[in-house]
Chains A and B, each alone.
Chain A
């Protein structure tokens, strides 16, 4: 247990001075020495060794009660615990943290003092109890519990506060990130990121877990079934184009990413995240024919510069590459959208007639992908990015 704390200190000291290292070595040596001392006191107290388990002729208190070991252990425990408490204090005091944080840290390290207190309490208790094995085991266990808690409180606390060493998240210098307008700066983006981080989905995604392949396979066909009828009911054109993009395009594409995206076992959580959003979007636009939604839809198609092109098929594999890069890219996109929406909107080209549903629908799918792989001009990406953002804010 103490070694655990010690190793934690050792990890802290990467760039620190030499005296730190020496002290560490000293404490480690002390720990080893105390352990050896305890073992010796345990085994050497009773001189004829076999008397340790001699029952009937009372072998005498030395062999029965093992007080030497108890006292040695208690002394050493108190000593080393105090060492471990005192050792980090100067480091904390010298560090450039706030006073509140410093006291917090010192209190955390001082948890070992509870162990010391337990030890100091249990020794007289056990002696008063004539060294009965019952109380001995009990107090030893209690002490163990405290020691474990103290040793792990630091790390567990860091988990709770969401700090400490994390694994490398997703690459920020991705194409999506590069094509994005970064003028907003990471400072203004951070709140959004934090806000999104809290959700369970993000937690799961950041730990590298996706939903199980079985789950995903169940989900995606249902999704497809879900939004395929929409184009069928309203316009077969759109469906054809969608099909083309979904089925034949990835196989034709040479890009490795699109192939990977179709692999159901690949734990790309973002795919499954995006899909439902798309589905609900389609649903709102097409099936329900809610006037509100239609208006929103048309607004989007209006603001979308890609709609005149109406080439969703090449854009679809791009989606795979862009969004599989993970939650970071997605969140960045979204946060960028929020930021952009604050800035005055550039003139939106009224390129398409909003009354045509077929043209309305396809571009709505396209915009979210386009920025990721095709480094469009800044204005373009801004425009495209605003669409999902508007959707989200209205939700």
Chain B
């Protein structure tokens, strides 16, 4: 299948660090926006509409996802070129966990 390509080369966590940082920043920005919205609505009308509750609820998958992404980026996934690279058993285990978390985070992303 032409769509699927070779895995990208293995990268250490060091390379992923900026990504992780940006992800966290964006998450915090989103939180601020949502809190502003909900807080502002509450201050102005002293009651929350359904949409505000939904927006506030969106924080939950947002943060769950961010937690997943954090672990994923630290551990790395199985989508990497592993030929000729010696990985310890623990690394493998970690990558397995992270790959599983990828699934979860994708679902959470859709939910957000």
Most buried by B among A53, A138, A164: A53
Beyond A4-B55, A140-B109, A165-B44, is A132–B30 a contact (Cβ under 8 Å)? no
Task: Name the one of A1, A6, A159, A208 contacting B112, with C-beta atoms under 8 angstroms.
Answer: A1
A330 at the binding interface (Cβ < 8 Å) = no
Task: Name the one of B22, B27, B72, B103 contacting A52, with C-beta atoms under 8 angstroms.
Answer: B103
Task: Name the one of B4, B15, B97, B109 contacting A60, with C-beta atoms under 8 angstroms.
Answer: B4
Task: Name the one of A60, A138, A159 contacting B22, with C-beta atoms under 8 angstroms.
Answer: A138
Residues of B within 8 A of A145 (CB): 26, 29-30
Task: Name the one of B5, B41, B82 contacting A130, with C-beta atoms under 8 angstroms.
Answer: B5
Q: Kindly provide the distance from the CB of A328 to the nearest chain B CB, expressed in whole angstroms.
A: 16
CA distance A67 to B102 in the complex (A): 12
Task: Name the one of A7, A64, A137 contacting B73, with C-beta atoms under 8 angstroms.
Answer: A137
A144 B102 Cβ-Cβ under 8 A: no
CA distance A142 to B72 in the complex (A): 17
- Residues from 45 to 99 in B contacting A, C-beta threshold 8 Å: 45-47, 49-52, 54-55, 58, 62, 69, 72-73, 76-80, 82, 87, 92, 95-97, 99
B30-41 vs A, CB cutoff 8 Å, 1 = contact: the mask equals: 100110110011
Task: Name the one of A8, A11, A127 contacting B3, with C-beta atoms under 8 angstroms.
Answer: A127
A142 B40 Cβ-Cβ under 8 A: no
B4 A67 Cβ-Cβ under 8 A: yes
CA distance A237 to B89 in the complex (A): 93
Closest to B30 in A: A148
Closest to A38 in B: B110
CA distance A144 to B33 in the complex (A): 12
Dominant secondary structure of chain B at its interface with chain A: helix
CA distance A127 to B37 in the complex (A): 35
Q: Kindly provide the distance from the CB of A202 to the nearest chain B CB, expressed in whole angstroms.
A: 13
A145-158 vs B, CB cutoff 8 Å, 1 = contact: the mask equals: 10111011001100
What is the number of residues of chain B that contact chain A, defined by CB distance less than 8 Å?
61
Q: Kindly provide the distance from the CB of A72 to the nearest chain B CB, expressed in whole angstroms.
A: 9
A55 B95 Cβ-Cβ under 8 A: yes
The number of residue pairs between A and B whose CB atoms lie closer than 8 Å in the complex comes to 180
A357 at the binding interface (Cβ < 8 Å) = no
Closest to A6 in B: B51
Q: Kindly provide the distance from the CB of A205 to the nearest chain B CB, expressed in whole angstroms.
A: 12
B9-30 vs A, CB cutoff 8 Å, 1 = contact: the mask equals: 0010001100110110011011
A20 at the binding interface (Cβ < 8 Å) = no
Residues of B within 8 A of A64 (CB): 4, 7, 77-79
Residues of B within 8 A of A155 (CB): 37, 40-41, 51-52
Beyond A55-B96, A145-B26, A159-B44, is A130–B33 a contact (Cβ under 8 Å)? no
B72 A133 Cβ-Cβ under 8 A: yes
CA distance A317 to B3 in the complex (A): 81
CA distance A136 to B29 in the complex (A): 19
- Residues from 236 to 256 in A contacting B, C-beta threshold 8 Å: none
15 contacts between A and B (CB under 8 A): A7-B51, A7-B54, A38-B110, A42-B106, A52-B99, A56-B82, A62-B4, A67-B4, A69-B106, A130-B8, A131-B7, A159-B40, A164-B44, A207-B44, A208-B46
Q: A73-B106, A144-B62, A159-B36 are in contact. List 18 more A-B contacts (CB 8 A).
A: A39-B107, A42-B106, A43-B103, A53-B95, A53-B96, A65-B4, A133-B102, A135-B19, A138-B19, A138-B22, A141-B23, A142-B26, A144-B26, A144-B27, A145-B29, A152-B34, A166-B44, A166-B45
